[in-house]
Structure 1
Amino acid sequence: MDQEKIQLYITRFFLFLLLAAVIGNFIAQNWLNLFTSILAIILIYLPAYLTDKNYLHIPNGLQFFIIVFIFGSMYLGEQREFYYRFWWWDSMLHLIYGMGMGFIGFVMVYVLNKNENIDVGLSPIFVAVFAFSFAVTIGVFWEIFEFWMDNIFGLNMQKSGLIDTMFDLMEDCVGAFITSIIGYFYIKNKKPSRFQRYLSEVLEKNRKFLKK
């Protein structure tokens, strides 16, 4: 069985659990978890939808990465209370998040750097710093979102308040830093790696962003 089929079966299993959660939360009238379950299903379908409609090509490996992250945070973390059962769960997800957002930031500025309409050459260190800054900025906005959700709707997204927020941001920084360093050395050396493979596929299948 190849890797893509395994990923497909795992994704279907995730969706089955989320659909069961939708039904269970509706019966229990747990509206917050019901909303979270529906939102998770939509977000899991979104990468494949964007790729199928040729809006944006996302490699299968990255799609699966996104799916696992969504399931781990919105279902296991929130509804199955993994955030409370395992002290490291939130830290792990924020580290992964930082790496993922760092990759997105890297791709954005790398595409701009290669765009024929933009007459500017960006140094590897600038690209790396931008990727890091992009990921951390998104992390800051997420923490602001958590703050307002807790204060307006009485949720507990920030867990232990300021301490949780600061650790989340530090973990985002670590993840973003890892991706930025990998991206920096990719530009400098162009050595074959998984990072290079994903980046090449993203650029190759999204050439419309590089055209005049």
Structure 2
Amino acid sequence: MKLKKINYFNAVIYIIYIISIGYFLLNKDYGNAALSTVAFIINLILRWVYSKNFILLDNSLYIVGSLFILFCLVFGSSFGLYDKINHYDDFLHFWSGFITVKIGFNIIKFVGINNFNSKLLIVILLFFFAMGFASVCEIVEYSLDTFFNMSTQKGGLTDTMHDMIDALIGSIIMIIYYMRKI
């Protein structure tokens, strides 16, 4: 039953990608067609990793990760929702806090830190994992702006700090969720 739901999910996602790529090609917007194609390929790779039963990539992380790629690269960048919707970028950085804590929690389970009596250790590991990932994302944005003359950090340092705070809030909420679950 779960496989059937995942297959329906994939079908919907793939249709959105194909329609998006077709739309950009018809409008001779080859840059956004290429970006949407790259996002589609990333999603196919994620699907392949998921199909190999990679222990760190469970159902919920696969679905959320696939949606995150779609919302960031296709809707955000290609269709310009970063510029058209106020706080769209904030929402995605907030969401990334959830995702990175989920990844961190799966890693903790995988490596066998199953002594959940030490909640403080789990909190520290999840927190630093999420914030480390958020800082890497900001370094990538800075690098894109510097080396490829893009404008991912339109607000400069203020944008960077808002993004980090958004990820911080999302990660704290997810950490609290996991601490209650343990």
User: What's the TM-score once normalised by structure 2's chain length?
Assistant: 0.84
| Residue ranges of structure 2 left out of the alignment (5+ in a row) | none
Return the alpha-carbon distance in structure 2 between the equivalents of residues 43 and 122 of structure 1: 38
Match of 1:177 in 2: 172
The C-alpha deviation readout for 1:175-200, integer Å capped at 9, x for no partner, is: 1111112222322xxxxxxxxxxxxx
Q: Does 1:40 align with 2:48?
A: no
The C-alpha deviation readout for 1:109-162, integer Å capped at 9, x for no partner, is: 2433447xxxx8871111111111101111101111111111111111112222
Return the alpha-carbon distance in structure 2 between the equivalents of residues 164 and 51 of structure 1: 33
Q: What's the CA shift for 1:26?
A: 5.1
The amino acid of 1:58's aligned partner reads L
Q: How does 1:79-90 map to 2 (within 5 A)?
A: 79-90=78-89
Return the alpha-carbon distance in structure 1 between the equivalents of residues 136 and 56 of structure 2: 26
Could you say if the C-alpha distance between residues 20 and 88 of structure 1 is closer, same or farther in structure 2, counting changes exceeding 3 Å?
same
Match of 2:125 in 1: 130
Return the alpha-carbon distance in structure 2 between the equivalents of residues 53 and 3 of structure 1: 15
Could you say if the C-alpha distance between residues 52 and 6 of structure 1 is closer, same or farther in structure 2, counting changes exceeding 3 Å?
closer
* 1:113–1:122 CA contact under 8 A, matched in 2: no
Could you say if the C-alpha distance between residues 48 and 57 of structure 1 is closer, same or farther in structure 2, counting changes exceeding 3 Å?
farther
Return the alpha-carbon distance in structure 1 between the equivalents of residues 45 and 117 of structure 2: 31
Return the alpha-carbon distance in structure 1 between the equivalents of residues 151 and 3 of structure 2: 37
The amino acid of 1:59's aligned partner reads D
Return the alpha-carbon distance in structure 2 between the equivalents of residues 61 and 121 of structure 1: 22
The alignment partner of 1:180 has SS state of helix
Q: What's the CA shift for 1:103?
A: 1.4
Match of 1:144 in 2: 139
The amino acid of 1:140's aligned partner reads S
User: What's the TM-score once normalised by structure 1's chain length?
Assistant: 0.74
The alignment partner of 1:143 has SS state of helix
Return the alpha-carbon distance in structure 2 between the equivalents of residues 36 and 97 of structure 1: 20
The amino acid of 1:54's aligned partner reads N
Q: Does 1:68 align with 2:67?
A: yes
Q: Percent identity?
A: 24
* 2:14–2:40 CA contact under 8 A, matched in 1: yes
Could you say if the C-alpha distance between residues 138 and 19 of structure 1 is closer, same or farther in structure 2, counting changes exceeding 3 Å?
same
Return the alpha-carbon distance in structure 2 between the equivalents of residues 155 and 36 of structure 1: 14
Aligned length: 181
The amino acid of 1:149's aligned partner reads L
Match of 2:30 in 1: 30
Q: Indicate the RMSD between aligned Cα atoms, in angstroms.
A: 2.6
Match of 2:49 in 1: 50
The amino acid of 1:156's aligned partner reads S
Q: What's the CA shift for 1:29?
A: 5.5
